[in-house]
Structure 1
Amino acid sequence: MTDGLAPTTRFTGRVADYVRHRPGYPPALLRWLRDEHGVAPDWPVADIGAGTGISARMFLEAGHAVVAVEPNPAMRQAAIAALGGHPRFAAVDGRAEATHLPDASVALVSAAQAFHWFDRRTVKAESRRILRPGGLVAVYWNFRRTSGSPFLEGYERLLREHAPEYAQVAGRYPDEAAMARWFGAGLRGMATFPNTQRLDLDALRGRLLSSSYAPRAGDPRHGPMMEALEALFASTAVDGRVDFDYDTRIHVGVPDG
């Protein structure tokens, strides 16, 4: 990476934008886990790579006890600030590959947007270690759509022109075949759900700057990137908003050994 930052530290300066402008996950995701895979509210959850607590909040609101495993101090403290008063929430300083959780201590391992930064071989073994018998691993992301509207197509062009790290980071996301290989014979199911943010210009700026590959203020590429973003918004917004569309994809199972 051109900024020289490791995956566990590259979001440190972006926490405020991450908290305010990253999307959550559609309610259909939890309904699918419940209805198709029997994930009940009494299942304790380990949310690995929990970040600022977006996915942890989703499980707390559904009735689960959640332990957020996050190595980045700034992101972990943001999660604690938002959720620390909840009696079913805990946070630990750990990595997805070394959670420090007891053996067989959770019923669901949740790996959301951070999964593409993990060592997939090591996290597979760690997930199996902390799962109790009958438990499941859920891996899911919000995949931004890159086509389908002038805004989405223009935003993709903007990233490729103004964010040199974008292609490298985007290439880390596993495709369907890679996830099938990771779970192996233990794959139980997958699904895709639509998800959308309606963003005004300030929120769109924050959403861009929450991305680890976006040049920050002080970088000579930052100003031209933000000017291009404002021009894109001006040409594509309807009633002062743009639709930032995603496909939320989830894979569930127990990765084989």
Structure 2
Amino acid sequence: MSKLHSTERFSDRVADYVRYRPDYPAAMLDWLRREQGVMPAWKVADVGAGTGISSKLFLDAGHDVTAVEPNAAMRDAALAWLGGNPHFRAVDGTADATHLPDGSVDLVTVAQAFHWFDPASTQREFARILRPGGLAAIFWNSRRLTGTPFLESYEALLQRHGTDYTSVAERYADDDSMRAWFGTGWRGIARFEHKQSLDFDALRGRLMSSSYAPKEGHPQHEPMIAALRELFDRCQQDGRISFDYDTRIIVGTLQNT
């Protein structure tokens, strides 16, 4: 693991993160509405909100959203992007210290960031800020590692050039761990296909948004970009490649312990 604290790992990658990280499938929100009873009037706390990609999904669906994000650069980017919406606000807080009032939200969401959190203290804090019967929804885009020549070669590129890739990548919890985290409050799980269609500049930006991609000036940076160029040229169709994900969401209630 990098010595850089998890809340600061992306400070120098914000521009790439804003432009090139994927959003989340609309089908996931439809599932929350249809299967879990989430209503547009529900107040959402989006914890570890980053630059606001996940917050925007719920804002666009009519929710009041409070983005909780400790990284100042990312929080500022979220405010620059979404701050004009009167239903959005961003606060400086962490998963175990959101600084939100007791029972003040109907839905707590976490996208991508959950693997950085301490499970026990996060559970207590989420249970505190949720109203009785409110839901927590943990979801993430998991990049497919196999299935196409591009996906398999991209994984090999990261293994070869990433600075601390093996200790950081795909640290998301498995189904059994998430069931245990929710305990008796576990309500459901769903998976959705998702993808980005990227030209080379977008692919490069997507790579450089990752905390384990060596920055310019690092001895691995230029060899990595050269390898990415070769991979894109070999796999592109009509000047683009498909960057494929599985989006997984787990939902439940949480009890104060």
- Report TM bin, short chain: over 0.9
Deviations 1:199-234, CA, capped at 9 Å, x for gaps: 000000000000011111111011111111111001
Q: How does 1:176-187 map to 2 (within 5 A)?
A: 176-187=175-186
Alignment partners' CA distance in 1, 2:254 and 2:37? 18
The code of the aligned residue for 1:237 comes to Q
Q: Distance in 1 between matches of 2:197 and 2:152?
A: 16
How does 1:120-159 map onto structure 2 within 5 Å? Answer: 120-159=119-158
1:232 paired residue number: 231
1:162-206, CA deviations, whole angstroms, 9 ceiling, x for partnerless residues? 114111112522111211111122110000000000000000000
Confirm whether residue 64 of structure 1 aligns to residue 63 of structure 2. Answer: yes
The aligned counterpart of 2:103 is 104
Structure 2 runs not aligned, ≥5 long: none
Q: TM-score, normalised by structure 2?
A: 0.98
CA distance in 2, matches of 1:192, 1:10: 28
Which consecutive residues of structure 1, in runs of 5 or more, have no partner in the other structure? none
1:208 maps to which residue? 207
Kindly provide the amino acid, as one letter, of the partner of residue 156 in structure 2: R
Q: Measure, in 2, the Cα distance between the counterparts of 1:112 and 1:42.
A: 20
Moved more, 130-139 or 180-189: 180-189
Alignment match, 2:81: 82
Deviations 1:90-116 (A, max 9, x none): 110001110000000000000111111
Question: 2:242, 2:17 → 1: CA distance?
Answer: 18
Contact residue 140 and residue 247 of structure 2 kept, 8 A: yes
Q: SS at the partner of 2:154? A: helix
Shift in Å at residue 133 of structure 1?
Answer: 1.1
Cα distance between partner residues in 2 of 1:223 and 1:185: 50
Where does residue 114 of structure 2 map in the other structure? 115
Q: Aligned-residue CA RMSD in angstroms?
A: 0.9
Post-superposition offset of 1:32: 0.2
One-letter code aligned to 2:61: A
Q: Secondary structure at the match of 1:194?
A: strand
Name which of structure 1's ranges 188-197 and 159-168 shifts more when overlaid on structure 2.
159-168
User: Contact (CA 8 Å) 2:216, 2:222: kept in 1 or not?
Assistant: yes
AA paired with 1:163?
A: G
Whole-angstrom distance in 2 between the partners of 1:255 and 1:154 = 40
2:72 maps to what in 1?
73
1:172 and 2:171 matched: yes
Q: Which runs of 4+ in 1 moved over 3 A?
A: none
Q: Which residue of 1 aligns with 2:216?
A: 217
Q: 2:48 aligned with 1:49, yes or no?
A: yes
Q: Report SS of the residue matched to 2:19.
A: helix
**How far has the Cα of 1:130 moved from its partner?**
0.1
How many residue pairs get aligned? The number is 256
Greater Cα shift, 170-179 or 206-215: 170-179
User: 2:32 maps to what in 1?
Assistant: 33
Secondary structure of the residue that 1:16 maps to in structure 2?
helix
